[in-house]
Amino acid sequence: MRRWQAALLVVLLLLAAALTWQVQAWRYGSQLAQQAQAHALQLQQQAEALAGQLQGERQQRLVLEQQIEANDQFHYQELLDAQQAQARLRDRLATADVRLSVLLGAAPQAGLPTTPGTASLDHDPVRAGLEPAHAQRIIAITNRGDQGLIALRACQAYVQALQR
């Protein structure tokens, strides 16, 4: 009978080991499931944080694009206004409605016609009128200078908008 008891004891030990093994598997499975769930929750939170950050950056970019667009429109309108003013001045010079002159100082220089002045007792400075062709060239030069200054201000506004 001892053999029978020994065999029964071995079977009981094997059943206890199998039961222990199964309980441990359930516990570890439960722990792994909890870890997987916690990891998934953490990944979801990170994704939501990144999505919020991306949305904020998109908003900033949209605001920046709107500022740059407004600056572009302002400087384009400024450029158009300057071009129109230059065109009006050129037209007035062409029709002799306006004449450009230079200040000669106290005494007229030889060879330069002076503009006729009104009779007065004041000591007006002596001026010499410019030929219309020279006046047109001067106006063209100032027009290019004005356009350059407007373009420079537009570039500076763009860089300032990007730095904000």
Q: Strand 101-105 and strand 126-129: pairing?
A: antiparallel
Residue 20 φ then ψ, to 5°: -60, -45
pTM of the model: 0.53
Range of the domain at 81: 56-107+126-164
96-152 pLDDT per residue, tens: 777 777 777 655 455 555 555 554 445 567 777 778 788 888 888 888 898 899 899
Does residue 38 belong to any structural domain of this protein?
A: no
pLDDT digits (tens, 9 = 90+) for 17-49: 999 999 999 999 999 999 999 999 999 999 999
Q: Are residues 21 and 68 in the same domain?
A: no
Shared-domain flag, residues 17 and 78: no
Q: Which one, of 120, 113, 111, 84, lies nearest residue 99 by Cα?
A: 113
Q: Please tell me whether residues 102 and 148 are part of one structural domain.
A: yes
In a domain, 51, yes or no: no
Domain match, 8 and 63 both: no
Residue 61 has pLDDT above 70, yes or no: yes
For residue 101, which of 123, 84, 116, 85 has the smallest C-alpha distance? Answer: 116
Using the predicted structure, report yes or no on whether residue 1 has a pLDDT greater than 70.
no
| DSSP string across 41-99 | HHHHHHHHHHHHHHHHHHHHHHHHHHHHHHHHHHHHHHHHHHHHHHHHHHHHHHTTSS-
pLDDT band with cut points at 50, 70 and 90 for residue 69: very high
